[in-house]
Amino acid sequence: MRYLLLLSYLFSAQVFAVGFANGLKIGEVRAASAVVWTRLTQEVKQEKWDQLSGGAVPGAAGFITMVLWKESVSDKPHSKYLGYVSGEDDFTFQCRFDNLEPYTKYIIELEGRKDLSDTPFILRGEFYTAPAATQDKAVAFTVSAYQSFLAGNELEYGHQIYPSMSELNANFFVQAGGAVCFDRPTVSHDIAAARFKWNRIYALPYFRAFHQKMPSYWLSDDCWPEQKNKGFTWKQGREVWREQLPMSHKPYRTFRWGKHVQIWLVEGPAVCRDNKSAEGSQVDMLDEEQWQWLRETMSESDATYRIYISPTSVIEMSQKKKNCSQSLPQAGDKLRQFLASQPGCFVISGNRHGQYYASDSKTGLEEFGCGPAVDGRVKSVDQKDKASWQTYFRSEGGFLSVTIGSGEDSEAKLQYHNVQGKVVHTIIFKR
């Protein structure tokens, strides 16, 4: 019922000069900071669309005000920002809020105006900051990957996993690659076409309602059209990706969620495209800067569970030499050996082939594949290859939920869900 009421609010029939048809995104949430993103649009909501060409809402030049306050102190704003947006950045605006209190609920209010004298269109969101590293709190989060505007029967409202995940009341969400694919179902030939894809899918109501309240993190992957169309480059694709999301300065980063949970979000595919030998073969999955960051931050962590989240599989790297993530078996060995040496460490992968569980035969490193967000994105997998390294496999879409309890004997429960949210498999990870 609460979800339906929120959708009703999103579809307000009031008339304004501008709106926030792409809603807002709350990202990069830590114990003391968060980044909030939005986009000013000509319409309040997505009005017209069709399966092949419509759906995105045109942007609007104007002014955006962001006001943040603690829910318990509504009469005293924590901070306030005003900015002007234009087509140069696709009418997007994002702000980082610092000096927040850990494990505290905040309200974010957006005001949009074409001119400063206009009556503002107002959109509100809410979120909790992460617990401090010393706080012994239970933590739950969800992970999904590989979305598609044209997959399934979800064109009117969006992917069914979003209301399904909302029912779990998780603390945060990780989008582990493939939020928008520039190379499918149609190739993005330029920046305008790439922006169109972002604006279209994130104007759908299920997406907007979910991100209005859920701290989220995004990973990029290898869904890029450079090999299919030289007119739109890898560099341009990365710039659009950063433009459309709340982001930190570095694409790889780590976040602490209380005493027991710390996540690492890596950018392996981006490095693979930039990090090549003269002959064109990949020299490593991570460049030296990212390797140093990973070694230092993970080795220094005292979190009970150290969770490495990647758009591509870590265990699959040495199975076949097919693409960037699998081009050098020794790169996979190096990474698996390091991760397996870290107490309480496991891998979550955004692999598009389906939901799976795998354990590396050499190191014992365990990996959990969340699978694609919709059934229509599942790719066929060779049965012989699948059987060689995946203990559990499900060739349908859905999402993964992770629940980690409090106390000294906390355990990690990982559950695979179908797109409707039904649990189809459960695994307990033991330290």
Domains of the chain are: 15-128 (2.60.40.380), 139-429 (3.60.21.70)
Rounded to whole angstroms, what are the CA distances from 41 to 18, 49, 67, 112, 114? 6, 16, 19, 9, 10
- CA–CA dist 327, 330 (Å, integer): 9
What's the confidence (pLDDT) of residue 184?
Answer: 63
- CA–CA dist 397, 420 (Å, integer): 10
Out of 204-218, 271-285, 315-329, give the one with best mean pLDDT: 204-218
What's the confidence (pLDDT) of residue 326?
Answer: 44
In contact, 256 and 130? CB cutoff 8 Å: yes
| 231 or 132: which leads in pLDDT | 132
From 9, 21, 14, select the one nearest 47 (Cα to Cα). Answer: 21
Torsion, Cα of 341, 342, 343, 348 (10° steps): -110
For 71-183, where are the E strands, in sequence order? Answer: 79-85, 92-97, 105-113, 121-128, 139-144, 172-175
β-strand pairing of 139-144 with 172-175: parallel
What's the confidence (pLDDT) of residue 24?
Answer: 98
pLDDT digits (tens, 9 = 90+) for 131-142: 999 999 999 999
From 138, 167, 113, 341, select the one nearest 257 (Cα to Cα). Answer: 138
- CA–CA dist 106, 45 (Å, integer): 25
* Partner residues linked to 276 by β-bridges: 282
From 274, 237, 305, 246, select the one nearest 38 (Cα to Cα). Answer: 246
- CA–CA dist 148, 377 (Å, integer): 7
What's the confidence (pLDDT) of residue 334?
Answer: 86
Q: CB-based burial of residue 404 (10 Å sphere; 0-12 exposed, 13-18 middle, 19+ buried)? A: buried
- CA–CA dist 254, 346 (Å, integer): 15
Kindly state the average pLDDT of the residues 236-254: 91
Matching residue, tokens 């290898």: 222
0.85 surpassed by pTM: yes
In one-letter notation, the amino acid at residue 350 is G
Note the Cα 62 to chain centre separation in Å.
Answer: 28
* pLDDT tier, 21 (very low <50, low <70, confident <90, very high otherwise): very high
Note the Cα 280 to chain centre separation in Å.
Answer: 30
Matching residue, tokens 């960051």: 293
In contact, 338 and 331? CB cutoff 8 Å: no
In contact, 394 and 425? CB cutoff 8 Å: yes
* pLDDT tier, 52 (very low <50, low <70, confident <90, very high otherwise): very low
CB atoms within 10 A of CB 422: 10
Q: Look at residue 325 and tell me whether its pLDDT is greater than 50.
A: no
Rounded to whole angstroms, what are the CA distances from 228 to 147, 277, 299, 320? 20, 22, 40, 23
Q: What is the pLDDT of the chain when averaged over all its residues? A: 85
Q: Look at residue 417 and tell me whether its pLDDT is greater than 70.
A: yes
User: Buried b vs exposed e over 277-291: b needs ≥16 C-beta within 10 Å?
Assistant: eeeeebebbbbeebb
Kindly state the average pLDDT of the residues 243-262: 95
39-53, 160-174, 256-270: least confidently modelled range: 39-53
In contact, 215 and 128? CB cutoff 8 Å: yes
- CA–CA dist 365, 403 (Å, integer): 19
